[in-house]
Amino acid sequence: MYPMNRKFDRQIRDLLQKSNIEVPENFHKRIENTLNMIKERKGDNKVPKNNNSKKITLGALLKVASLLIVAILTVGIIDPAIGKNIPIINSVFEYLSNKGIEKAEYQKYAVGIGASQISKGVEVTLNEAAFDGSRLVVGYIIKDNHLPKKIEKDKIFVDSSAETTINNENLSAGSNTVSGILTNDNTFIASAKYELVRGYLDKIPSSIDVKINIREITFYEGTNRHTIKGNWNFNFTIPASKTKVDLKILEPKIVINDKLGEIKFNKIILSPFSTSIEIEAPQDPVVGWYEYTDEYQYMQPSLWTVTDDKGNILKWEAEYNLFDINGKVKKDKAYPRLIKFSPVSPDIAYINIKSSKFEVKLPVK
């Protein structure tokens, strides 16, 4: 190493420190290679004795270094060999909220996790999680060089049979649809919703231990299905500071008489992430199991118009049969069913449900 390198190294170091970036090892090697090429063009490995030549060379090198630093700030975001996070995501919930894909409410209750698992060449990072007593929402960053190029929103499924528990209680009530966005050719930013099999926790513990074991990830590109099998296992804790949620449970016990039988509206669960309505309704005499022929389509909750007392529409999000704590379906004359809609404002007086055959107001005060 020749004498001017000491001064040059100090100035390079100062430039890097001012840039406030993490410089990968291969970037250091690029600088070293640049220096070697400049020396080779001089014809030897010595510094010219002429002071003016030395100053010109040093100035030129600093310009080269400055350009390289600018390059790493830009190229590092899009080149997997340089940038570690593509793109740089501090909060999946915030990112998706800004894109209009997910609710802003998740950010308030989010706890950072930052755990990554790689299986079959697919890296899954559990970025953060949030729980409101009724639903667990998890932010994922999924990287795979063979991802479909045009994944549509809600066209990815994270193994519905995955073992998902909260304090050893089964959590997942059905297929875990993931909402997200494909940011480039190999990175999918997404959030997954996991519903409690019995609807909600009667008493939310001070802290929550969560286990998610994913065995399969499926992407849909149009009608084409891409399934990746592997093992992505996560264990984390949601601390007490993030489990203090306002969970409101009401029992209106309103009954509507229909030609199929009684429709019972048993419970309303208001939580920060959703509005849940527990009903009991008779089945279609032909198809059964909450599938309805054209004659009884008005019984499908996804076709109801649901609003609050201010006229705001509550969007249908999910529905499933209720299970007991052992994971068994609660059977009676009718199957209890939980329908999930978007959350409501805490100051509303009632929720209005309207189908083509009936209309009902459910008080929430």
Q: Are residues 107 and 65 in the same domain?
A: no
Q: Are residues 237 and 253 in the same domain?
A: no
Q: Are residues 231 and 255 in the same domain?
A: no
Q: Are residues 237 and 257 in the same domain?
A: no
- Structural domain total, the chain: 3
Q: Are residues 237 and 252 in the same domain?
A: no
Q: Are residues 236 and 252 in the same domain?
A: no
Q: Are residues 110 and 236 in the same domain?
A: yes
Residue 85 lies in a domain: no
Q: What is the CATH number of the domain that holds 204?
A: 2.60.40.1630
Q: What is the pLDDT of residues 176-232, one digit of tens each?
A: 567 778 787 678 888 888 887 777 777 777 788 888 888 888 776 667 777 888 899
Q: What is the pLDDT of residues 290-309, one digit of tens each?
A: 678 788 888 888 899 999 99
Residue 87 lies in a domain: no
pLDDT given at position 61 = 46
Q: Are residues 221 and 165 in the same domain?
A: yes
pLDDT given at position 190 = 86
343, 105 Cβ separation under 8 angstroms? yes
Long-range contacts of 358-365 (CB under 8 A, 24+ apart): 358/256, 358/258, 358/263, 358/298, 360/254, 360/256, 360/265, 362/250, 362/252, 362/254, 362/265, 362/268, 362/277, 363/250, 363/252, 364/248, 364/250, 364/268, 364/270
Q: Are residues 113 and 138 in the same domain?
A: yes
Q: Are residues 258 and 157 in the same domain?
A: no
pTM greater than 0.75 (yes/no):
no
Confidence band for 71, pLDDT divided at 50, 70 and 90? very low
pLDDT given at position 32 = 57
pLDDT given at position 291 = 72
Q: Which domain holds residue 300?
A: 248-363
Q: Are residues 116 and 231 in the same domain?
A: yes
Residue 53 lies in a domain: yes
Residue 11 lies in a domain: yes
Q: What is the pLDDT of residues 111-131, one digit of tens each?
A: 999 999 999 888 999 999 998
Percent of the chain with pLDDT over 90: 24
**Cβ neighbours for 200, distance < 8 A, ≥ 6 positions apart:** 133, 134, 247, 249, 269, 271, 276
Q: Of the residues 242, 257, 273, which one is the last residue of a structural domain?
A: 242
Q: Are residues 139 and 28 in the same domain?
A: no
